[in-house]
Chain A
Amino acid sequence: MTESVVPSNGQSANGAVNHQTLKAEARGLSFFYGEKAALREVNLPVYAYRATALIGPSGCGKSTLLRCFNRMHDLYPNHRYAGEIRLYPENINLLAPETDPIAARMRIGMVFQKPNPFPKSVFENIAYGLRLRGLRDKNEIRERVERALQDAALWDEVKDRLGDSAYALSGGQQQRLCIARALATEPELLLFDEPTSALDPLATASIEALIGRLKSQVTSLIVTHNLQQAGRVAEFTAFMYLGELVEFGPTEVVFNAPSQKRTEDYLAGRFG
Chain B
Amino acid sequence: MTDQSQLALRIRRAKQLERGFLLLAWLLLTSLAAVFVGLFAGLFQAGWERLQLDFFLTFASRHAARAGILAAWVGTFVVMTVTAAVAVPLGIAAGIYLEEYARPNRLTTLIEINIVNLAGVPSIVYGLLALGLFARLLGFGASVLTAGLTLGLLILPIVIVATREAIRTVPNAIREASYAVGATRWQTVWGQVLPAALPGTLTGVILGLSRAIGETAPIVTIGAVTFIAFLPPAPLSADFPFLSFDWVWSPFTALPIVTFDWTSRPNADFRANAAAAALTLTALTAVMNGVAAWLRYRLRRRQQWQ
Contact = CB atoms under 8 A, between A and B. Distances in A.
Interface in A113-154: 114, 116-120, 128-129, 132-133
A167 B304 contact: yes
Contact of A133 (B174, B182, B195, B304): B182
Interface in A58-117: 70, 72, 75, 77, 102, 105-106, 109-110, 112, 114, 116-117
A75 B176 contact: yes
Given A120-B195, A128-B191, A167-B305, A109 B181 contact: yes
B296 interface: no
A72 B192 contact: no
A109 B181 CA distance: 6
A244 to B, nearest CB: 26
A128 B181 contact: yes
Given A75-B175, A114-B173, A118-B192, A181 B181 contact: yes
A114 B306 CA distance: 10
Contacts of B174: 116, 118-119
B100 to A, nearest CB: 11
A161 to B, nearest CB: 16
Given A118-B192, A167-B304, A167-B305, A182 B175 contact: no
A35 to B, nearest CB: 19
B16 interface: no
A129 B182 contact: yes
B302 interface: yes
Contact of B180 (A110, A117, A119, A167): A110
Contacts of B173: 112, 114, 116
A114 B187 CA distance: 23
Interface string B166-193: 0000010111111111111001000110
A119 B187 CA distance: 15
Interface string A169-185: 00000000010011001
Contacts of B179: 72, 75, 102, 105
Contact of A105 (B175, B181, B192, B304): B181
A59 to B, nearest CB: 20
A118 B177 contact: yes
B237 interface: no
Given A72-B176, A128-B191, A132-B187, A119 B181 contact: no
Contacts of A133: 182
A165 interface: yes
Nearest to B303: A119
A105 B187 CA distance: 14
Nearest to A131: B191
Contact of A119 (B175, B176, B184, B305): B305
Nearest to B170: A119
B196 interface: yes
Chain B interface secondary structure, helix, strand, loop or mixed? helix
B305 A132 contact: no
A116 B176 contact: yes
Interface residues of B, number: 23
Contacts of A165: 302
Nearest to B306: A114
Contacts of A114: 173
B184 A102 contact: yes
Given A119-B303, A128-B191, A185 B181 contact: yes
Contacts of A185: 181-182
Given A102-B182, A102-B184, A105-B182, A178 B304 contact: no
A55 B161 CA distance: 44
Contacts of A72: 176, 179-180
Contacts of A70: 180
A105 B171 CA distance: 20
A109 B180 contact: yes
Nearest to B181: A129
A203 B192 CA distance: 27
Given A128-B191, A165-B302, A116 B181 contact: no
A132 B182 contact: yes
Contacts of A112: 173, 176-177, 180
Nearest to A110: B180
Given A120-B195, A165-B302, A178 B177 contact: yes
A19 to B, nearest CB: 32
A190 B240 CA distance: 56
B181 A132 contact: yes
A120 B198 CA distance: 13
B199 to A, nearest CB: 10
Given A112-B173, A118-B178, A182-B181, 17 more contacts: A72-B176, A102-B179, A109-B180, A112-B176, A114-B173, A116-B173, A116-B177, A117-B177, A118-B196, A119-B174, A119-B195, A128-B178, A129-B182, A132-B181, A132-B183, A167-B302, A181-B181
5 contacts: A102-B182, A116-B173, A119-B174, A119-B302, A119-B303
Nearest first, the 8 closest Cβ-Cβ pairs linking A and B are A129-B181, A116-B173, A106-B182, A110-B180, A167-B304, A105-B182, A116-B177, A119-B196
